[in-house]
Structure 1
Amino acid sequence: MRDAAAANWAGNVRFGAARVVAPESVGELQEIVAGSRKARALGTGHSFSRIADTDGTLIATARLPRRIQIDDGSVTVSGGIRYGDLARELAPNGWALRNLGSLPHISVAGACATGTHGSGDRNGSLATSVAALELVTASGELVSVRRGDEDFDGHVIALGALGVTVAVTLDLVPGFQVRQLVYEGLTRDTLLESVQEIFAASYSVSVFTGWDPESSQLWLKQRVDGPGDDGEPPAERFGARLATRPLHPVPGIDPTHTTQQLGVPGPWHERLPHFRLDFTPSAGDELQTEYFVAREHAAAAIEALFAIGAVVRPALQISEIRTVAADALWLSPAYRRDVMALHFTWISAEGTVMPAVAAVERALAPFDPVPHWGKVFALPPAAVRAGYPRAAEFLALAARRDPEAVFRNQYLDAYLPAA
């Protein structure tokens, strides 16, 4: 991450904070929050929107005491810990998280607060594993909420509006093995004809595409649960050819830093992400955008994006298509509906990217797209709010937790304005 006092990881957001602090204890954090007119928390800085910005106190959470407490079926961790570091503690003890995002470098608290996800028809976003939270509220009070408490589903994906998360309790599952297979040459026609079958074909599925009708990659992450699951993979799936060498999602890029492919079984945390933890991502030569549409619209939405391929390609590095299961979290893009996530990794030239973003939004408009809270988008605030039927209840919760609007910023004022 770049200097927290200056910018986010990508460098497209210059923070306007009057001061940046990095407390080393929860008590110190409580004093800082209680004494701040405005405050926001900052994890690893992997959001591309202004969600973490403030003109007051920016609180970097990385130096808070490291905590990993494994109980039977759950783990409580400090909010600033990265998923990859947590996974390395869980795996030797026989435990796993149900899913991981494409990057293991992101913080647990930040990823959950923004609705970040992995892939899988039956896998919810990372936030669906949250069983409890500890947070410092605007008064400096340390409070805890647990699954089953009133308004718990409003606390999990909360965009930093309720307080600074200092600990998260996550559900665990027994450790498992995964093998990763990559297929080349998936065509537009096959993707459209078999979209539901393709994304149901494995535990976690990604399609990487440059919106070229003849050449997309299909990434299948298969659980290896018993004898025979790691047998010889088919040479062809959905008309695409099994890759015989490791590939990077972006064609032509060295795959050295991607996780093990070629069907070699390995621990869940070394296969579910696309990239290795020991590879530190470069300082943000990209922008990212992502939209969620109801899964019933998957084929039509993908077809609409292929139709504007020539428009988006000058700004595009690669797109990724994934699926996310429905949940009950108030500010989740998957609230009460299974969704397809349409992700765009752009070049870092904002002047070239934003016209492409506008074209994508026009193409997806018939399908009521909901943007990822932490990515770049241009949808008007009213259209964003329309995607969240529990927004009013969330605002009421935020008013109770933060009556002085300490954690509000311009981003929240725009997309979730207080009454």
Structure 2
Amino acid sequence: MTHQLVAERNWAGNYSYQAPRIAHPASVGELQKLVADAVNIRALGSRHSFNAIADTAGTLAVLDRLEPGISVDAGNMTVTVSGGTRYGTLAAELQRQGFALHNLASLPHISVAGAVATATHGSGDANGNLATAVAGLELVTADGNILSVRRGETDFDGMVVGLGALGIVTQLTLDIEPTFDVAQNVFENLSWDLVLENFDHITTSAYSVSLFTDWSGETVGQAWLKRRSNDPAPGTFFGGTAATEARHPLPGVSGSNCTQQLGIPGPWSDRLAHFRMEFTPSQGDELQSEYLIPREHAVDALRTMRRLSDVVTPLLLVGEIRTVAADQLWLSGNYGRDGIGLHFTWRQDQPAVEAILPLLEAELAPFLARPHWGKVFDAGAAAAAALYPRFGDFIALADPLGSGRKVPQRLSGPDRLRELILSR
């Protein structure tokens, strides 16, 4: 096992971890001893969180030294993988063996356990977030023992999106399906009027649809359509013009590090994410927020965002609108409801962004907007907990698994998420 005693920062560089020690166990056995001996310890994934959810006053455990351990069970159509493995690594191996996941997030660089724990998602009307593929979990609890749970067992739905509060996830078993090809087309400058009038038609027009906008003007900047290659290719698209070269979500930025576009079919593993695994999509010089809103409020929420353009657009690099299917995972942003995700990639001016978040969240509150756990948001404990019908059940679940709240106490640091776990 290796240890670091130096300060570390997250991917965006906006947060410096306060933990005095970072450990890299080389085996599950080493991790079990590390957890059992620790007063406070917490898992640190690919550092793509923009807040303190992964921090602690004790030890951060990074699972990047564990072998990916990718094992396909073709009979049950599942794959088992270590928690620290990145989605791009898993996707490439599944494709090699002729299998696929149902969904990928924008970045394939994120760790499987971290993405699942925060209910991170891709897009698509019929596609649940990444955590909905979880059929089983193995985690090290506060006493250093290993707990294994499977779908259908008591409290399983409360443990999948666990925010790291229930233990350190060492292994996940995910549903898989036969591999499939995807073709990706980009359309530019869609009429906002047509988008609002035809929102359901737009989001059902492909397996996955993302709209990119800065919320200003009369047009939506880009629509990215990812369709299964046996589905019909789009012709015209709600006033948009088909892109004739690779596009990046940010205007004026080369699309060379984005996944293949122009309607050229290829493996799901090379198309469902927005960015290619072999390229770092940016230098991380940004902040991110995201809110999950019930589908029935989608158009009203979009109109509200357009009305807030004068406040939001000056601080925004780009916004993204996605759709996500409902699930039954207690702390998922789409628990019990189909929804849309409003994603904000901000300029890295944290004081300015934090200054407008209270207004943004107040305007989205009538739509029951749930903040993404790993992004920048303002909501405190009472406001956020009220949005999750099973939040109290999750707190109760965390107590015995944490052996006297040892594990929940690891949610330390200045972020409001600390309140969510520690307060009553």
Normalised TM-score (structure 1):
0.96
Q: Which residue of 2 aligns with 1:223?
A: 228
Hey, what's the Cα distance between the residues in 1 that align with 2:36 and 2:281?
A: 35
Cα displacement (A) at 1:334: 0.5
Q: Which residue number corresponds to residue 36 of structure 1?
A: 38
The one-character-per-residue Cα deviations of 1:316-364 (angstroms, maximum 9, x if unpaired) are 0000000110000011110110011000000111122222323321221
Secondary structure of 1:353's aligned partner:
helix
Q: What's the counterpart of residue 15 of structure 2?
A: 13
Matched residue, 2:72: 70
Matches within 5 A, 1:43-82: 43-72=45-74, 73-82=77-86
Work out the CA distance in 2 between the residues paired with 1:55 and 1:172.
38
After superposition, give the CA deviation of every residue in 1:362-411 in whole Å (9 maximum; x if it has no partner).
22122121100000001232110011110111111110100332222235
Aligned residue in 2 for 1:274: 274
- The AA in structure 2 aligned to 1:183 is F
Matches within 5 A, 1:319-330: 319-330=319-330
Separation of aligned partners in 1, 2:174 and 2:133: 5
Moved more, 6-15 or 262-271: 6-15
Given the alignment of the two structures, is residue 142 of structure 1 paired with residue 146 of structure 2, yes or no? yes
- Hey, what does 2:242 align to over in structure 1? 242
Aligned partner of residue 251 in structure 1, secondary structure: coil
**Residue 230 (structure 1) shift:** 6.0
Give secondary structure in 1 for the equivalent of 2:54.
coil
Residues 100-111 of structure 1: pairs in structure 2 closer than 5 A:
100-111=104-115
Alpha carbons of structure 1 residues 148 and 199: separation in structure 2 relative to 1, 3 Å: same
- What is the CA distance between 1:267 and its match in structure 2? 0.3
State the match for 1:124 in structure 2.
128
Residue 282 of structure 1: CA displacement? 3.7
What is the rounded CA distance, in whole Å, between the counterparts of 1:362 and 1:193 in structure 2? Answer: 25
How far residue 49 of structure 1 moved from its aligned partner, in angstroms, is: 1.4
Change (3 A) 1:413 1:212: closer
Alpha-carbon separation, structure 2, partners of 1:210 and 1:418: 36
Q: Which residue of the partner structure matches residue 166 of structure 2?
A: 162
2:6 and 2:324 map into 1 onto residues whose CA distance is 31
Structure 2 regions of 5+ residues with no counterpart?
none
State the 1:13 CA deviation: 1.4
Contact 2:381–2:423 under 8 Å retained in 1: no
**1:75 CA displacement:** 0.4
What does residue 180 of structure 1 align with? 184
CA distance in 2, matches of 1:43, 1:363: 32
Partners in 1 of 2:390 and 2:384 — Cα distance?
12
Structure 1 partner of 2:296 = 296
Report what 1:201 is aligned to: 205
Partner amino acid, structure 2, of 1:218: A
Identify the residue that residue 98 of structure 2 maps to in structure 1. 94
The amino acid across from 1:188 in the alignment is W
Percentage of pairs with the same residue: 52
Tell me the TM-score normalized by structure 2.
0.95
Alpha-carbon shift at residue 168 of structure 1 (Å): 0.4
CA distance in 1, matches of 2:109, 2:356: 28
- Displacement after TM superposition at 1:7 (Å): 1.2
- Cα deviation per residue 1:122-170 (whole Å; 9 max; x = unaligned)? 0000000000011000000011000011110011000000100000000
> Which range moved further: 143-152 or 400-409?
400-409
Q: 2:117 aligns with which of 105, 113, 116?
A: 113
Deviation at 1:4, TM superposition (A): 8.3
Partner of 2:388: 388
Secondary structure class of the residue paired with 1:51: helix
Letter in 1 for 2:419: A
Query: Retained in 2: the 8 A contact 1:38–1:405?
Result: no
1:354 aligned onto 2:354: yes
Which residue is equivalent to 1:22?
24
Structure 2 residue 335 is matched with structure 1 residue 335? yes
Q: CA deviation at 1:100?
A: 0.3
CA distance in 2, matches of 1:7, 1:15: 6
- Which residue type is aligned with residue 202 of structure 1? A
Q: CA deviation at 1:5?
A: 4.1
Provide the secondary structure at the position in 2 that maps to 1:123.
Answer: coil
**Aligned Cα root-mean-square deviation (Å):** 1.5
Report the CA distance shift for 1:396/1:4 in structure 2 as closer, same or farther (over 3 A): farther
**Distance in 2, Cα, partners of 1:7 & 1:303:** 36
Kept in 1: contact 2:53–2:418 (CA 8 A): no
The answer to whether the 8 Å contact 1:395/1:418 transfers is no
The alignment covers a number of residue pairs equal to 413
SS in 2 for 1:116: coil
Per-residue CA distance 1:227-256 (angstroms, 9 max, x = gap): xx465x41x211111111111111111111
**What secondary structure, in the 3-state scheme, does the structure 2 residue paired with 1:257 have?**
coil
Give me the whole-angstrom Cα distance separating, in 2, the residues matched to 1:4 and 1:340.
40
SS of match in other structure, 1:301: helix
